[in-house]
Amino acid sequence: MLEQSLTLPCGHMLPNRFCKAAMTEGLADALDRPTAQHLRLYERWARGGAGLLLTGNIMIDQRYLERAGNVVVQDDSVLPALREWADVVHAGGAQLWAQISHPGRQCPRLVNLTPIAPSPVQLDILGNFGKPRAATQQEIEEVIARFAETADLVQRAGLDGVQIHAAHGYLLSQFLSPRTNQRNDAWGGPLAHRARLLLAVVKAVRERVGAAYPISVKLNSSDFVKGGFTLEECLQVVAWLNDAGIDLLEISGGTYEQVEFFRQTPDREVRDSTRQREAMFLQYAAAIQGVARMPLMVTGGFRTRAGMEAALAAGQTDMVGIARPFCVDPDFPSKMLAGQLDTLPHNEDHLRLGTGYWGPNSPSAGLRGLNNYAHAGWYYHQIERMGAGQAPEQDYGPLNALLAHLWHDTGRALRRKRAR
């Protein structure tokens, strides 16, 4: 089934079931524009055989970034660079969809000391995030308008679709969660109020891009934190999204406080994987499938062809979303489609600074944070290498990855400040 095309509700067709899920690239220039590194990276991925490539987080507002090095699309000065980006992907035979996003409180201090969020609830990870302030009514309306504007620009640049990022604890996900949304106006309180921003953004984007352009939403099945967005609430939001006209619902889970989407898949589990254990959100997707009328894409943990095919055959997912293996073997989709490869690289388990007290399960939030930085940093390093036309470097160590990550993101943030 992996090689079968999929026709979306808007009439658009995806050539096969492989999607490279969003991975923030951190490769933009000091004015937040795509660079030659993006072109080389996506040229590499486009040749690899996946029908759909999602960009990493593209920001709708240059004041609030997920990370220095994000591409920002807020006016038409970026159109020529975006067009080139779409062209290299099309030349490789794939489609390019933009993941559009606002980080809310998950915006590093070096970018903004007081980002907007639903409520002033600070994220306390290694002192890296400032205390946010509650967005005003006017700012909320501006967020809706900016999502629509960014979607319009992306469509004009020739990208093939957009994905609205409402997962992983970014702004729209913060509004959904009662832990971070403590408002008592029309945007907070009961779920219908907390979901209002996401639904308003989807509506505004649809009005702007028209009926035939693909819109996806990435949503958490659960935040996996106490007092956060739950599976039950997710099911209700999906029921509302049914009427909003979206074409592909991507299911993930977790926030910066509990990075469930980075869960490491130990070798042992992949070797004797049942499909339930392999893709971590599949069991939630089964419940979501019961409500959803749009096609689903489950992302997180898929590592074997058997696991992917079983999930497709059982109707638990319509697309297979995969991220980290693209940084190790960018050609894996072609190899799997040709029957030459059954198991993807799964080196996640080795990407930690230590075990026990030092490991990712450490009782200390600070040490867990360092491990997550090392983990992400290892993949950022591979992305930078491919952006420079080099092959991935498998034996790169997690401590180097941690230091390089901190060094690069700090350097990029300072260069951005100097350029303004």
Q: C-beta of 189: minimal distance to ligand FMN in Å?
A: 27
203-222 residues near ligand FMN, rule: CB under 6 A: 218
Distance CA 370, CA 126 (A): 8
Nearer to ligand FMN, 189 or 341 (CB): 341
Interactions with ligand FMN, residue window 279-308 (CB under 6 A):
299-302
Is 198 one of the binding residues for ligand FMN (CB under 6 A)?
A: no
Pick from 102, 324, 352, 408 the residue near ligand FMN by CB under 6 A. 324
Query: Residues 198, 208, 66, 96: is their CA dihedral positive or negative?
Result: positive
376 binds ligand FMN (CB under 6 A): yes
What's the gap between Cα 277 and its chain centre? 21
Residue 107 in contact with ligand FMN, rule: CB under 6 A: no
Q: Quick check: 132 binds ligand FMN (CB under 6 A)?
A: no
Q: Among 380, 381, 401, 413, indicate the residue that binds ligand FMN (CB under 6 A).
A: 380
Partners of 248 in beta bridges? 216
Q: CB-wise, 7 or 274, nearer to ligand FMN?
A: 274
- Applying CB under 6 A, which of residues 16, 37, 57, 180 lies at the interface with ligand FMN? 57
**Closer to ligand FMN at the Cβ: 182 or 347?**
347
CB 219 within 8 A of CB 194: no
Stretch that binds ligand FMN, among 22-30, 104-112, 307-315, 334-342 (CB under 6 A): 22-30
21 binds ligand FMN (CB under 6 A): yes
- Alpha carbon 393 to chain centroid distance? 23
Which DSSP string do the residues of 109-141 spell out, in sequence order? Answer: TTT-SS-EESS-----STT-BPPPEEPPHHHHH
Give the max Cα distance, the chain: 56
Q: Which CB sits closer to ligand FMN, 134 or 205?
A: 205
Residue 264 neighbours by CB under 8 Å, 6+ apart: 348, 349, 351, 352, 360, 375
| 85 and 388 Cβ atoms separated by less than 8 Å | no
From the CB of 166, what's the least distance to ligand FMN, in Å? 10
Nearest CA-CA partner of 177 in 222, 128, 235: 222
How close are the terminal C-alpha atoms of the chain, in Å? 50
Q: Taking CB under 6 A as the criterion, which residues in 149-168 touch ligand FMN?
A: 165, 167-168
Output 188 or 377, the one with its CB closest to ligand FMN: 377
Name the residue with tokens 């090095």: 69
- Round to whole Å and give the CA distance between 288 and 228: 18
Task: Give min distance, CB of 229 to ligand FMN, in A.
Answer: 15
The answer to whether the beta carbons of residues 341 and 49 sit under 8 Å apart is: no
| Nearest approach, Cβ of residue 11 and ligand FMN (Å) | 25
| Near ligand FMN by CB under 6 A: residue from 16, 24, 177, 273 | 24
Contact positions toward ligand FMN, by CB under 6 A? 21-24, 56-57, 99, 165, 167-168, 218, 252, 261, 299-302, 322-324, 376, 379-380
